[in-house]
């Protein structure tokens, strides 16, 4: 058994961020109702107290028991209870016993839960556990990761068993070795409380009772099945992925406060353990695809007897911040003179106000209290909040809610609605005088309106009417209508409040405004709504205006074309989508209308209105069409004018490029692009031929007309006149084109026969292979599977082929040969499964590094061309961007000097970088060529191959330099270079580390 040594020699270093914060954001965005799980577990304190009392009783009963019985009881009962109490302390450390408003209550209750454990761990655990969440896996910050000694020594099954048994020892010593923090005042209190309890047990019950408690703790946290969660949570059991956190869904969760739901816990550390199963139930698609455990015994067996498993099987990151030696001292703060003075002042103010408020109306008292809360700059200490929480001034806003609710409940029903309006106006005026930001102003108004909304939904008279809930509902509705009808919508205070408040709120508040202002109860309301919307439009608050139009169904009151144009002029495409919503008919109408506008620009026929002409003078309409086509899933055939305009602009760009550089390569590039662009639309063709004639280039125009085999009747008038004036030119051009076609055919045949290779400046020739069938593609996959580094690049189709960029060619370079994957040919021959097989071999290999240059753009275009490769996101690894690595190196002096030398780098474009590292001069004349034409010219093949070859060659040279840098700098560079297929906000990418 001792001979099966763990094969791991180092931790698994990663250069990506932990996935939990991004997954949390995605889940909350998709399932906002998950926030209901936040907060306090009301049963936690009672369960903990019962456990503590039960252990004290057990210790008492065992005071004179036989030692064998004591240890058996400690292992099978007491140890399990103590282990559960350590996990109760874990839950309490997240403030789930009394909430974030009472951090000290949580800390002291943690000490109570600590009592039967016999070792003072509660406060120290909290101190280091917050760092574990915030800096998961970071070297020298996360003390949950084993030390190098542990990882190197405990490698055989026997040693791993010993390591598991000694877990309590290592968890206690690890912080002292890698992250020493000075003790806080609460830790000292925790120690004294625990010492007093232990002495009391010793004195009252005897030594056996204390040993029972202590041995239960040591056994249960070490050699006990329940302790399997220590290795189940973050050790890499799945060899094919770098999933950092694992959940356990077995029966031990019933007694261990659901600590097994560990992915869910790291995603939502402020949700009590009791509610964690609900997280998976609400958002199953985020968790069901992750690897998880079902058996603690299986976890222990696999960890001990699998050679690849051991303490080294943990993900590690470079530290993002320096160590912080000093912790907070909450007691010192709490009993500081300033805090005592503040509390005394609050008490005196309370008695003073109690005398002053005699005879004051509920409304006046509410206003006084709200003003006090707004001007009180002190609030509960927000320390102790979990990482990534954005909760500030919790107590202040909680009191504002309670104060407003108290007023509404005390006010007479016939006066509460007017009082609500007065309160909004007065607090708005007061907050304005204080100079509060618009964010605080909106929050205050929304808080008051939400309190009133809650009051409208509540009928105290029927709270106890359990016999007939239907009658209660009727009473609630009746009460709501009575209150909302108590103030006329023509009343001055109603109109003033509506004008002051409604237009200044966020779009998300429209439903709340509709309820509390009783909109829809009176026909006249539409005038108020239209007035508010007009005001929003004038101030260009388009999100609010459109949300109101959609919510109140007022689209018929606005001209479709005008709204669309005004939104485009303000670049509010996202708001435009909201205006259209999910109405397929409206979506089609929008796309066709936008294409009609573009058509007016393309033809310049004077059919556009002034507003539409203003839209066409910007690029917004063309960008909007591309985005909306992708969003709605419509084909490019719906926007022929947009494609035509793109073709014209692309053609003119190439024409002017050729005019500046009349080399043969530029001429061939222009000719290929021009012929394809003019085939897109007759308007493009006529525009360019007319342009050539105006530039006295009639022969060039005639050449293109002949190449397109255009009938004379379709010639522009200027070109017809030229042909009539010079009849022999048409025959000469036809003969020239015929001869040129024959020459090109012979050249292509010769190139096909001789093959193509990339000749380097040292005389080396690297063969180039065009891959245009699946058999050859299989050979490519087999070849790259044997490599460690390949350079990858992509060439795109002309922009007028599709409104969203598409890949025409993928280049893959190894040191010995270069492959050009002909996507333009293969995309119609290969199935999605075959493409996925190829991309998996390129982007999901454990050993292969796919290196690109400024590669994020190429990845995005690959996803446009092959949308289904997003499914590979959880499997992707080792996709790296050389540009990002070099850019990061320039910001680190040691790396910059070692990689680039003393000479400062002026530009990080690929041509200059290639010259520095490989001493190769790159010819970029083919950069904007037509990569859709077939067959490809040898010059195009060589250009495409050179990019991929240079990227791979440069990265190979840099890998020889990296070992001379410190591990921290290496980690920074590689972390900057790593690229996922998906952006980090997408749910599929969230499931990978």
The domains located in the chain, with CATH, are 12-316 (no CATH), 354-558 (no CATH), 642-753 (no CATH), 757-990 (3.30.420.10)
598 CB burial (10 A radius; 0-12, 13-18, 19+): buried
pLDDT of residue 457: 80
**Each residue of 918-977: pLDDT tens digit?**
888 876 555 556 788 888 888 889 999 999 999 999 999 999 998 898 888 888 898 889
> Is pLDDT above 80 for 384?
no
Residues 6+ apart with CB under 8 A from 105: 97, 98
**Each residue of 811-859: pLDDT tens digit?**
999 999 999 999 999 998 999 999 999 999 999 988 899 999 988 889 9
pLDDT of residue 50: 96
pLDDT of residue 125: 93
Mean pLDDT (the chain, rounded): 86
Contact 946, 763 (CB under 8 A): no
- Alpha-carbon distance 496 to 429, whole Å? 12
Residues 6+ apart with CB under 8 A from 62: 69, 70, 73, 208, 209, 212
As a whole number of Å, the CA-based R_g of the chain is 36
Helix H segments across 166-269? 167-178, 185-204, 207-220, 229-232, 262-267
> Is pLDDT above 60 for 459?
no
Tokens representing 363 are: 């409304």
Contact 969, 890 (CB under 8 A): no
pLDDT of residue 924: 57
pLDDT of residue 469: 37
> Is pLDDT above 80 for 471?
no
Helix or strand holding residue 577 (H, E): helix 573-580
Of 587, 623, 616, whose CA–CA distance to 599 is shortest?
616
pTM above 0.85, yes or no: no
User: What is the SS3 string spanning 250-316?
Assistant: CHHHHCCCCCCCHHHHHHCCCCCHHHHHHHHHHCHHHCCCCCEECCHHHHHHHHHHCCCCCCCCEEE
pLDDT of residue 702: 94
Residues 6+ apart with CB under 8 A from 305: 4, 157
Contact 411, 363 (CB under 8 A): yes
> Quick one: average pLDDT of 82-102?
92
**Each residue of 970-988: pLDDT tens digit?**
888 988 898 876 544 333 3
Q: With pLDDT > 70 as the criterion, what percentage of the chain qualifies?
A: 90
> Quick one: average pLDDT of 331-343?
77
Contact 860, 830 (CB under 8 A): no
Q: With pLDDT > 90 as the criterion, what percentage of the chain qualifies?
A: 45
Name which residue leads in pLDDT, 554 or 661.
554
Pairing between β-strand 849-852 and β-strand 315-316 as defined by DSSP bridges: unpaired
Using CA atoms of 514, 516, 518, 519 in order, give the dihedral in degrees to the nearest 10.
Answer: -20
> Quick one: average pLDDT of 776-782?
95
- Alpha-carbon distance 559 to 904, whole Å? 58
> Is pLDDT above 60 for 463?
no
Name which residue leads in pLDDT, 761 or 511.
511
> Is pLDDT above 80 for 786?
yes
pLDDT of residue 480: 64
pLDDT of residue 350: 65
Any idea which of 20-24, 668-672, 772-776 has the lowest mean pLDDT?
Answer: 668-672
Contact 689, 701 (CB under 8 A): yes
Residues 6+ apart with CB under 8 A from 807: 794, 795, 796, 797, 823, 858, 861, 862, 864, 865
Bridge partners, 852 (sequence order): 881
Residue/partner pairs of 508-511 with CB below 8 Å, 24 or more apart = 508/547, 509/442, 509/446, 509/449, 510/544, 510/547, 510/548, 510/551, 511/551
**Each residue of 586-596: pLDDT tens digit?**
999 999 999 99
The CA-based angle 842-844-846, given to 5 degrees, is 105
Bridge partners, 818 (sequence order): 768, 813
pLDDT of residue 993: 33
**What band does 440 get if pLDDT is binned at 50, 70 and 90?**
confident
**What band does 164 get if pLDDT is binned at 50, 70 and 90?**
very high
Name which residue leads in pLDDT, 465 or 353.
353
> Quick one: average pLDDT of 109-126?
95
**Each residue of 627-674: pLDDT tens digit?**
899 888 899 899 999 999 999 998 998 898 888 765 555 677 788 889
> Is pLDDT above 80 for 119?
yes
Pairing between β-strand 12-13 and β-strand 292-293 as defined by DSSP bridges: unpaired
Name which residue leads in pLDDT, 131 or 748.
131
């Amino acid at each position: 058994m001792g001979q099966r040594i763990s094969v791991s020699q180092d931790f698994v270093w990663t250069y990506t961020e932990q996935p939990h914060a991004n997954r949390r954001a995605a889940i909350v965005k998709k399932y906002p109702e998950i926030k209901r799980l936040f907060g306090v577990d009301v049963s936690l304190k009672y369960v903990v107290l019962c456990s503590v009392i039960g252990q004290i009783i057990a210790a008492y009963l065992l005071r004179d028991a036989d030692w064998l019985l004591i240890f058996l009881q400690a292992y099978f009962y007491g140890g399990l209870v103590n282990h559960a109490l350590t996990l109760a302390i874990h839950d309490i450390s997240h403030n789930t016993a009394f909430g974030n408003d009472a951090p000290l209550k949580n800390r002291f209750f943690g000490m109570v839960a600590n009592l039967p454990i016999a070792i003072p761990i509660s406060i120290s655990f909290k101190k280091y556990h917050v760092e574990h969440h915030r800096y998961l896996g970071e070297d020298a910050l996360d003390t949950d990761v084993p030390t190098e000694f542990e990882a190197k020594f405990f490698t055989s099954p026997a040693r791993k068993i010993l390591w598991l048994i000694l877990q309590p020892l290592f968890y206690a010593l690890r912080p002292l070795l890698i992250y020493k923090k000075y003790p806080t005042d609460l830790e000292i209190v925790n120690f004294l409380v625990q010492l007093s309890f232990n002495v009391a047990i010793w004195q009252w019950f005897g030594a056996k009772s204390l040993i029972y408690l202590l041995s239960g703790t040591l056994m249960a946290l070490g050699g006990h099945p329940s302790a399997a969660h220590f290795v189940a949570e973050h050790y890499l059991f799945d060899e094919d992925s770098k999933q950092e956190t694992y959940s356990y869904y077995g029966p031990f969760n019933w007694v261990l406060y659901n600590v097994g739901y560990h992915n869910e816990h790291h995603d939502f550390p402020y949700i009590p353990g009791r509610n964690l199963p609900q997280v998976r139930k609400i958002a199953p698609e985020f968790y069901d695809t992750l690897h998880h455990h079902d058996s603690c015994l299986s976890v222990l067996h696999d960890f001990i007897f699998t050679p690849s498993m051991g303490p080294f099987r943990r993900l590690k990151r470079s530290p993002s911040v320096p160590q912080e030696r000093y912790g907070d001292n909450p007691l010192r703060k709490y009993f500081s003179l300033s805090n005592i003075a503040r509390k005394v002042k609050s008490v005196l103010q309370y008695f003073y106000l109690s005398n002053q408020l005699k005879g004051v109306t509920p409304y006046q008292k509410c206003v006084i209290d709200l003003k006090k809360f707004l001007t009180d700059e002190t609030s509960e200490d927000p320390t102790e909040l979990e990482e990534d929480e954005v909760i500030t001034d919790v107590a202040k806003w909680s009191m504002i809610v309670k104060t407003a609710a108290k007023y509404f409940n005390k006010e007479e029903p016939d006066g509460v609605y007017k009082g609500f309006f007065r309160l909004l106006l007065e607090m708005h005026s007061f907050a304005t005088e204080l100079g509060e930001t618009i964010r605080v102003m909106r929050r205050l108004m929304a808080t008051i309106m939400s309190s009133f909304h809650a009051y409208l939904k509540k009928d105290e008279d029927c709270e106890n009417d359990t016999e007939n809930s239907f009658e209660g509902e009727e009473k609630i509705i009746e009460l709501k209508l009575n209150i909302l009808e108590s103030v006329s919508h023509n009343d001055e205070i109603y109109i003033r409040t509506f004008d002051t408040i409604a237009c200044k709120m966020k779009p998300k508040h429209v439903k709340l405004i509709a309820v509390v202002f009783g909109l829809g109860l009176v026909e006249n309301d539409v005038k108020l709504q239209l007035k508010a919307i007009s005001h929003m439009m004038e101030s260009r608050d388009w999100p609010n205006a459109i949300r109101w139009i959609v919510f109140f169904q007022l689209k018929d009151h606005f001209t479709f074309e005008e709204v669309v144009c005004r939104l485009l002029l303000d670049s509010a495409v996202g708001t435009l989508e909201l205006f259209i919503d999910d109405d397929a008919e409206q979506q089609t109408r929008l796309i066709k209308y936008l294409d009609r506008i573009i058509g007016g620009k393309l033809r310049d026929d004077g059919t556009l209105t002034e507003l539409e002409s203003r839209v066409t003078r910007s690029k917004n309409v063309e960008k909007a069409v591309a985005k909306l086509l992708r969003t709605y899933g419509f084909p490019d055939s719906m926007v022929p004018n947009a494609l035509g305009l793109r073709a014209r602009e692309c053609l003119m760009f190439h024409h002017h490029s050729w005019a500046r550089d009349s080399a043969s390569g530029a001429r061939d590039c222009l000719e290929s692009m021009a012929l394809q662009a003019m085939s897109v639309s007759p308007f493009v063709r006529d525009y360019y031929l007319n342009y050539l004639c105006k530039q006295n280039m009639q022969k060039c125009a005639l050449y293109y007309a002949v190449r397109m085999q255009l009938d004379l009747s379709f010639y522009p008038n200027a070109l017809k006149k030229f042909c009539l004036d010079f009849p022999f030119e048409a025959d000469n051009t036809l003969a020239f084109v015929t001869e040129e076609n024959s020459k090109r055919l012979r050249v292509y045949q010769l190139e096909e026969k001789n093959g193509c290779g990339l000749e380097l400046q040292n005389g080396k020739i690297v063969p180039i292979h065009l891959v245009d069938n699946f058999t050859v593609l299989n050979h490519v996959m087999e070849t790259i599977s044997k490599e460690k580094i390949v350079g990858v690049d992509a060439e795109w189709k002309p922009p007028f082929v599709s409104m969203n960029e598409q890949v025409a060619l993928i280049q893959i370079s190894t040191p010995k040969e270069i492959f050009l994957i002909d996507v333009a040919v293969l995309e119609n021959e290969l199935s999605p499964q075959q493409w996925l097989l190829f991309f998996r071999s390129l982007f999901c290999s454990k050993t292969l590094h796919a290196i690109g240059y400024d590669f994020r753009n190429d990845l995005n275009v690959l996803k446009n061309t092959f949308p289904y490769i997003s499914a590979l996101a959880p499997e992707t690894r080792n996709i790296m961007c050389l540009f990002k690595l070099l850019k990061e190196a320039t910001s680190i002096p040691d790396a910059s000097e070692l990689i680039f030398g003393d000479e400062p780098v002026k530009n990080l474009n690929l041509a200059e970088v290639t010259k520095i590292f490989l001493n190769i001069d790159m010819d970029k004349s083919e950069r904007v060529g037509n990569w859709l034409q077939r067959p490809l010219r040898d010059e195009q093949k060589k250009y495409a191959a050179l990019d991929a070859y240079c990227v791979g060659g440069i990265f190979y040279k840099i890998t020889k330099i990296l070992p001379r840098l410190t591990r921290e700098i290496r980690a920074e560079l590689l972390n900057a270079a790593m690229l996922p297929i998906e952006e980090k906000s997408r749910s599929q990418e969230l499931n990978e580390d």
